[in-house]
Structure 1
Amino acid sequence: MAYSDFSVFDLRQQFDVQFRADTLFPQLTPIEPTAWLREALRKGQDLGFNSEKSRSERLVTPVLMELSDLNHRSFSIYSGMNLDVDIGAGLRGECDFIFSFSRIQDFIAAPVFCIAEAKKQDLELGTIQCAAQLIAARRLNEQEKNPIHTLYGCSTTGIEWRFLKYEGNEFILDEQRYYLAQLPALLGALQAVVDASKGQG
């Protein structure tokens, strides 16, 4: 089993977690995108997509690069790296993107945010996969004695983004969806995750 193989039932039974819906960012501050980001996304959409990888490269990566610049590159972004924490429990496999405030680039350290690309454009399945990755991220943090108590994640098709928060034994799924066509709100939500995560550790 790997992250993409889990169901909600599997996560509840195996890891004793619960799920509920709520508003994660009730006082979100929109952030205006730079001209560079708007142009990069325009070019990416003009090229079109024939795979999840192309969506990642042309839609998701530019947004994350913008977020990194907004925060003076204060966090690392890992792309396409394995997060093999507990193979026996199925907590293994590749993660599309992981954020960490660690400056180590060679291997994943102290993750605080995971992004799962929705395979076959299925945002719900992507959300479940992301939840499994967050469980693994917490275990890795515990193994490294890193006191990060709240982890965030996101499932995205590149066009549509859905956030979740993992705290205690509960996942809170954001009732609000964010869209690439509403870039200021999407950047504001991503910045809210960075701001909330900075105070931990």
Structure 2
Amino acid sequence: MAYSDFSSLELKRRFGIRFRAESLFSEPREIQPSAWLQETLRLGQELGFNSEKSRSERLVTPLLLELSNLNQHRFAIYSGMNLDVDELNGLKGECDFIFSFSRIQDFVTAPIFCITEAKKQDLEHGTVQCAAQLLGARRLNEAEQNAIPVIYGCSTTGIEWRFLKLVGQEIIIDEARLTLAELPRLLGILQAVIDAAGATLPSAECPA
């Protein structure tokens, strides 16, 4: 078993996870996208997509690069790296994107945000897979003695985005789903995730 194999029932049974929905971001500020991002996304959608990889390259990655630039590159973005923390319990496998305030680029450390690309446009299954990855991220933080109490996640098709977070034994799923048509709001929510995650760090220092 790996992250992509979990169902919500299996997460409840194996880890005692509870799921609930609420509004995670009531009034996020909107951030106007740069001309570069707007043009890149326009061209990407005009070209079309023949795989999840092409969606990632043409839609997801430009958004994340914009977010990184807005934050003076103060967090690392890991792409396509394994998060193997508990193979016996299935907390293993590749993660599409992981954010960390760590400066180490060679391997994943101190994860704060996981983004899962929904395979075959199945956003619901992508949300469950992301929930499993959040459990793996928390296990890694615990092993590294990083006190990060809330870990955020997102499932996306590139066009549609759904956010969630892990707090204690609860996976809280945002009631709203956003699309690229709401780009300023989407950027605002991504920034809200970075701000909220940064606020939970035990000190102003980023993990090594």
* TM-score, length basis structure 2: 0.96
RMSD of the alignment, in Å?
0.5
1:171 is matched with: 171
Structure 2: which amino acid aligns with 1:36? Answer: W
Code of the aligned partner of 1:10: E
CA distance in 2, matches of 1:165, 1:2: 20
Q: 1:27 offset after TM fit, Å? A: 1.8
Shift of 1:200: 1.9
Matched residue, 1:2: 2
* CA distance in structure 1 between the partners assigned to 2:52 and 2:132 by the alignment: 20
Measure the CA separation in 1 of the matches of 2:173 and 2:69: 27
Q: Report the CA distance between 1:46 and its aligned residue.
A: 1.2
Cα distance in 2 for partners of 1:76, 1:167 equals 22
The CA distance in 1 between the partners of 2:115 and 2:106, in whole Å, is: 19
- Which amino acid in 2 is paired with 1:199? A
Q: What is the identity, as a one-letter code, of the residue corresponding to 1:191?
A: Q
- Residues 25-75 of structure 1: per-residue CA shift (max 9 Å, x gap): 012101000000001101111111000000000000000000000100010
Corresponding residue of 1:117: 117
Structure 2 alignment gaps of length 5 or more? 202-208
Residue number in structure 2 paired with 1:199 = 199
Where do residues 1-201 of structure 1 align in structure 2 (5 Å cutoff)? 1-201=1-201
Report the number of matched residues: 201
Question: Which runs of 4 or more aligned residues in structure 1 lie more than 4 Å from their structure 2 counterparts after TM superposition?
Answer: none
Give TM-score, length-normalised by structure 1.
0.99
SS of residue paired to 1:74 = coil
Q: Percent identity?
A: 68
Q: Deviations over 1:121-180 (max 9, x none)?
A: 000000000000000000000000000000000000000000001101001100011111
The amino acid of 1:121's aligned partner reads Q
Distance 1:196 1:184 in 2: 18
> What CA distance in whole angstroms lies between the structure 1 residues aligned with 2:41 and 2:125?
25
**1:95 Cα shift?**
0.2
In 2, distance between residues paired with 1:76 and 1:97? Answer: 10
Q: Alignment partner of 2:153: what SS?
A: strand
Q: Which amino acid aligns with 2:148?
A: I
Give the letter for the 1:30 counterpart: E
In structure 2, how many angstroms separate the alpha carbons of the residues matched to 1:103 and 1:130? Answer: 23
Paired letter, 1:184:
P
